[in-house]
Structure 1
Amino acid sequence: MSAAKAPTVRHLFRNFWRIAKPYWVSEDKLHAWGLLALIISLSLGLVYMNVQFNKWNNDFYNSLQDYNLPAFKAAIIKFGYLAAAYIVIAVHAIWFQQMLEIRWRKWATAHFTRRWIHDNTFYRMQLTDKDTDNPDQRIAEDVDQFISYSLSLSLGLMRSIVTLVSFIGILWTLSGPLSFVLGNTPVTIPGYMVWVAILYAAVGTGITLWLGRPLVGLNFMQQRYEADFRFGLVRVRENAESIALYAGAKDEQERLGYRFLNVVNNFWSLMSMNKRLTWFTSFWGQLAIIFPLIIAAPRFFAKEIQLGGLMQINSAFGKVYDSLEFIIGSFSTLAKWKAVIDRLTTFEKSIEVADQLPRITPQPIKQGMQVSDLSVSKPTGEVLLAKLNLGLNAGDTLLIRGKSGSGKSTLLRSLAGIWPYAQGYLGMQSNTRSLFLSQKPYMPLGSLRAALYYPNDVEQDDGQIAELLMMAGLAHLLPRLDEIDAWSHVLSLGEQQRIALLRAILVKPDFLFMDESTSALDADGEAVLYQAVREAMKDGVMISVGHRVGLTEYHAQVLDCYGSGQWALNSL
């Protein structure tokens, strides 16, 4: 079963707690529980104020029925301070709830980001689960919605329960008994308006659940289609030059159109379901306004209760019904909440699967690098290199050659510890630094100076940087050294490779791994930079993957990869 398959409703609350629990037991737990207690207290205060307003209804409408002006004025004054107190409590309830939301989101975003980034899990997930789409959207958007929906729904449910408990007694007392004869048997139903409210809400909830069930799956897919479309737009921006050179604008437009068509079609389905649900909920909600007056009107016209009592019954019925119809009013939010929980649950499970993959952890040794019985395979199980044995010490250089698909780059990934389909022994000198340069260099967001030192701390050695940029033919970039730009788009591939090679010279790692890192350079430029890198690495280990014959000049050993597990190691 795919890790991205949506969990069932049966597991909803277990999955909710699985996602929420880490924050509530974290280092921020005291602030979290303190804010939650404060929010609950303010919510209870709002319920108390609603009870006071209900009592006020009786006094106010009775003063109107009795034409009692002093009582009317007193009721207006009382309403003023009740309303002021309600406003103060309501404003601070929202304020502290938002404070808890942002603290929780800050912690949860850091938590998920750390788990996704840690130990290159983001890379390993691409190998294990291609169905868990758009992790960026799950961290940036789903976490935010999960927290917002969780707090609003849980606090809303709590308020509904407290309101129900508070007003059900009031409604029971005010409505009195309902007596009638069924056949020849007299029947009396005490607090009959309570039972009417419960029955009314139960019928509405049942119909709402039946009508709105498809919304859960549709909301899940809407989140996915929206993220897929946004990812497609980002891909066009990141590969603008390549697409333009291929004259692929029309094709990209068609691809984006297809992705957005999924968004539109699914949204139409959501609209249809929401329309059907809104027809009923609007009707049922409007009926609830007049329904209690109709039911209680016979007692009013029989002069058993006054106008104030009738309006108090209507208000109490409304509060009881509002509490009982919580699911009706929140169903769309509940559907979105479940979709978000499903996406975060599958994302978390995908992280766990990636974490459980085997990996080669370098063992500390006294000096150099030692590889013994290392076997490297494809995810399908096809062996690329079998029982590789290799030993390198400070100052040694190795060139890895072979046809495409023979396992050269995969071997470097295995030595980096990120390729899970490898077995064997890898020993590396402890307390050392390694640097891997790929064919398509990574240019981080930020200044050019930061890119030169990535991933190490930036140094302010302008003299050395200027000398290196001139040597690499990049002197024109010196005035832009501290300029922040999208360098992966500004610089050509050849310029990016030169920056990466200068990075190796500046950082001077103990182990340098280069995967066709000069493929975009001309022969003269490659010679100048390779010689400079070789000089910088004279006290370290340098391993290169490449095809050009000229690279043999800078390496003392060569590893030829033939595929199907075959290899040969020779001196040059």
Structure 2
Amino acid sequence: MRRIGHFLSDAWTLAGPYWRSEERWKARLLLGVVVALNLSLVGMSVLLSYWNREFFNSLQEKNAEAFWALLFWWRQTDSGPMPGFVFVAALYILIAVYALYLRQALQIRWRSWLTREVLDRWLADRAYYRVALTDAETDNPDQRIAEDLRYFVDNTLALGLGLMRSVVTLFSFVLVLWGLSGPATILGITIPGYMVWVALLYALAGTGLAHLVGRSLIRLNFQQQRVEADFRYALVRLRDNAEGVALYGGEADEKRGLQDRFGALIRNWWAIMVATKRLTFFTSAYSQVAVVFPFVVAAPAYFAGRIPLGGLTQTSGAFSEVQGALSWFVDNYSSLTEWRATVLRIRGFLGAIEVARAAAGTGIQSVPDGGDALVLDDVTVGLPDGRVLVAGASARVEPGEAVLIAGASGSGKSTLFRAIAGLWPFGRGRVHAPGAGVLFLPQRPYLPLGSLRRAVCYPRHAEEFPEVEIREALESAGLGHLAARLDEEDSWDRRLSGGEQQRLALARALLVKPRWLFLDEATSSLDPEAEARFYELLKERLPATTLVSIAHRPAVAQYHQRALRVRDGHLVAAPA
């Protein structure tokens, strides 16, 4: 019971903020309308149970006038005026259609709000970066945002409204069934409304057995969501690295890896199939018995002449409604296990984000205080396993300087670069960085999805730059042949070579004109002549820009005034 309470608390932690958000009034109004329509459907079901009784009584009495009136017009009955079936059915259909339509409208509004909230948390304080570095358990954030949030919203509404409707149906038809069933004497004890008690016992037994048979589905559904996402991620990674795989001839190894992941998916799916088969055996038997069970229970009264055929059918229908309402847990057990797995995955994801954001102020402190200089104050850069790469680094870079950071491969230059950017959390010390006008160019430039224009202007909005400036930047960077394709959407990270991607990064720098420009092996894919032209352009077009470069080639040193070398775990000043 404590576990159920904890789980429901987690579910409300996810759901509650939306109903208290800036959209709360629209959401509550829409939910109120949906609830009212669902309650109306229950009322229509009660009306149809009485219509059903009168209709079958007219058949038993061979009353043609009553038969046709109950179908196409209306008739005065012992229960009051009874509308014809065509009117009841038309109203029922209208209510059912709008109950579904408005529920779907609420679903998409809630999902939109929840997705924005989770994205805000994930991207704030660079939590996405720290989670990827430190939390191996939080797998596939893309799947948790795109699919788990959708499953959560859809299932929460479907199960919540279904439970509400079952409760209302229960109370509505219990009164009907209580009045129809009358008392029964068993072992000398008179039991009033005996069919209500029979329905209750039947549903309680079914609920307990359903949980006993199907509880393993909770764990299996959680695992299935994970292995499905792992397999999809492996396929996406192969697509994104198709050229590297082709150059290495790594198809056989990739196939083995994909087959291993797909094998895990299939094995878990077979386990789900076995568990579902057991549960379906039980629920199918339970449902089939429920079809005839009320007739069996009510048959003695019918054969004794205490109730007519219409009364028998109404009693059976009311029993089925009561039993169905009480059996909500049995009927929705599989959906409940999927919902619980989804809640656990989302809560785990949000928990990892909270931990990452809480740790944003620990480790190496990046202080964008807007000063005129870049200052490293006793900065120690380490790895997640605690190993130290650079210890006690202190340095100062003045505005307008050109400084080279050099050192052997693996000495920690690129990690220091990440610490300066405020990304690397492992270590201690303080980095005082300029507050604005900063641009970092990594070795492999990031090219976003969309048009070439967006890729060139990233991270700024393309509308900020006139067409002529964008074309001129491309021309200067040696990509003039692409100027005619600015509005063409493509996978530019695969369409362009490594050298072309680094030229595109140069075009970005020429467009943005940053006050501070940091380059981490940003010319490694260019030939020496193109690399020289790259730095000459920066010096020519951005003369006031402070330049901090990480590079291996000795020729790069001539474009810098001095160097900082990583040597034996320390950062030391040296001539360029």
TM-score of the superposition, structure 2-length normalised? 0.94
1:335 to 325, 337, 340: 337
Contact 1:368 1:541 in 2 (8 A): no
Identify the residue that residue 275 of structure 1 maps to in structure 2: 277
CA distance in 2, matches of 1:407, 1:384: 5
TM-aligned CA deviation for residue 106 of structure 1: 0.9
CA distance in 2, matches of 1:128, 1:22: 28
Of all paired residues, the percent bearing the same amino acid is 46
1:66 to 61, 65, 71: 61
2:500 to 495, 499, 502: 495
CA distance in 2, matches of 1:466, 1:53: 71
CA distance in 1, matches of 2:466, 2:46: 71
Quick check: 370-379 or 523-532, which moved more? 370-379
What secondary structure is seen at the aligned counterpart in 2 of 1:323? helix
1:37 to 32, 39, 46: 32
CA distance in 1, matches of 2:270, 2:66: 55
What are the within-5 Å matches in structure 2 for residues 316-355 of structure 1?
A: 316-355=318-357
Identify the residue that residue 452 of structure 1 maps to in structure 2: 456
Identify the residue that residue 521 of structure 2 maps to in structure 1: 516
What secondary structure is seen at the aligned counterpart in 1 of 2:233? helix
Identify the residue that residue 480 of structure 2 maps to in structure 1: 475
Is 1:117–2:136 an aligned residue pair? no
Q: Alpha-carbon deviations, 1:406-452, whole Å to 9, x = none? A: 2211111111111111322322344x211111111111112222222
Contact 1:377 1:383 in 2 (8 A): yes
Is 1:543–2:548 an aligned residue pair? yes
What secondary structure is seen at the aligned counterpart in 1 of 2:522? coil
Q: Alpha-carbon deviations, 1:152-179, whole Å to 9, x = none? A: 0000000000000001011111000002
Distance 1:417 1:460, change over 3 A: closer
TM-aligned CA deviation for residue 31 of structure 1: 1.0
Amino acid at match of 1:318: S
Gaps of 5+ in 2: 73-83
Contact 1:440 1:493 in 2 (8 A): yes
2:98 to 92, 99, 110: 92
Identify the residue that residue 553 of structure 1 maps to in structure 2: 558
Is 1:416–2:430 an aligned residue pair? no
Distance 1:95 1:563, change over 3 A: farther
Distance 1:462 1:297, change over 3 A: closer
Is 1:151–2:157 an aligned residue pair? yes
Quick check: 191-200 or 535-544, which moved more? 535-544
Identify the residue that residue 212 of structure 1 maps to in structure 2: 214
Q: Alpha-carbon deviations, 1:312-357, whole Å to 9, x = none? A: 1101000000100001110110011011111101111111111122
What secondary structure is seen at the aligned counterpart in 1 of 2:332? helix
TM-aligned CA deviation for residue 381 of structure 1: 1.9
Identify the residue that residue 366 of structure 2 maps to in structure 1: 361
CA distance in 2, matches of 1:52, 1:338: 36
Contact 1:171 1:317 in 2 (8 A): yes
1:258 to 257, 260, 263: 260
Q: Alpha-carbon deviations, 1:256-288, whole Å to 9, x = none? A: 111111111111111111111111111111111
Is 1:442–2:437 an aligned residue pair? no
CA distance in 2, matches of 1:467, 1:304: 95
What secondary structure is seen at the aligned counterpart in 2 of 1:484? coil
Identify the residue that residue 300 of structure 2 maps to in structure 1: 298
Contact 2:476 2:507 in 1 (8 A): no
CA distance in 1, matches of 2:519, 2:168: 65
TM-aligned CA deviation for residue 119 of structure 1: 2.5
Quick check: 501-510 or 365-374, which moved more? 365-374
CA distance in 2, matches of 1:231, 1:451: 24
TM-aligned CA deviation for residue 471 of structure 1: 4.2
CA distance in 1, matches of 2:453, 2:141: 29
Amino acid at match of 1:389: S
CA distance in 2, matches of 1:472, 1:312: 82
Contact 1:445 1:486 in 2 (8 A): yes
Distance 1:25 1:202, change over 3 A: same
Identify the residue that residue 132 of structure 2 maps to in structure 1: 126
Identify the residue that residue 75 of structure 2 maps to in structure 1: none
Quick check: 92-101 or 494-503, which moved more? 494-503
Is 1:232–2:234 an aligned residue pair? yes
Contact 2:217 2:337 in 1 (8 A): yes
TM-aligned CA deviation for residue 563 of structure 1: 4.2
What secondary structure is seen at the aligned counterpart in 2 of 1:133? coil
Amino acid at match of 2:170: L
What secondary structure is seen at the aligned counterpart in 2 of 1:439? coil
Contact 1:204 1:325 in 2 (8 A): yes
TM-aligned CA deviation for residue 311 of structure 1: 0.9
Runs of 4+ in 1 over 3 A off after TM superposition: 7-10, 459-473
Identify the residue that residue 381 of structure 1 maps to in structure 2: 386
CA distance in 1, matches of 2:378, 2:542: 27
Is 1:562–2:567 an aligned residue pair? yes
CA distance in 2, matches of 1:448, 1:286: 61
Q: Which has the higher contact order (CA 8 A, sep 6+)?
A: 1
What secondary structure is seen at the aligned counterpart in 1 of 2:518? strand
Contact 2:371 2:432 in 1 (8 A): no
TM-aligned CA deviation for residue 457 of structure 1: 2.5
What are the within-5 Å matches in structure 2 for residues 136-175 of structure 1?
A: 136-175=142-181
Q: Alpha-carbon deviations, 1:538-562, whole Å to 9, x = none? A: 2122111111101110111211112
What are the within-5 Å matches in structure 2 for residues 388-427 of structure 1?
A: 388-427=393-432
CA distance in 1, matches of 2:475, 2:157: 58
2:109 to 98, 103, 106: 103
Q: Alpha-carbon deviations, 1:483-515, whole Å to 9, x = none? A: 221111011101111111221122111111111
What secondary structure is seen at the aligned counterpart in 1 of 2:365? coil
What are the within-5 Å matches in structure 2 for residues 524-539 of structure 1?
A: 524-539=529-544
Amino acid at match of 2:247: L
Contact 1:407 1:563 in 2 (8 A): no
TM-aligned CA deviation for residue 360 of structure 1: 2.0
CA distance in 1, matches of 2:240, 2:12: 38
What secondary structure is seen at the aligned counterpart in 1 of 2:348? helix
What secondary structure is seen at the aligned counterpart in 1 of 2:443? coil
What secondary structure is seen at the aligned counterpart in 2 of 1:514? strand
CA distance in 1, matches of 2:479, 2:370: 39
What secondary structure is seen at the aligned counterpart in 2 of 1:356? helix
What secondary structure is seen at the aligned counterpart in 2 of 1:446? coil
Distance 1:31 1:461, change over 3 A: closer
CA distance in 2, matches of 1:429, 1:276: 64
CA distance in 1, matches of 2:67, 2:18: 51
What secondary structure is seen at the aligned counterpart in 1 of 2:114? helix
What secondary structure is seen at the aligned counterpart in 2 of 1:361? strand
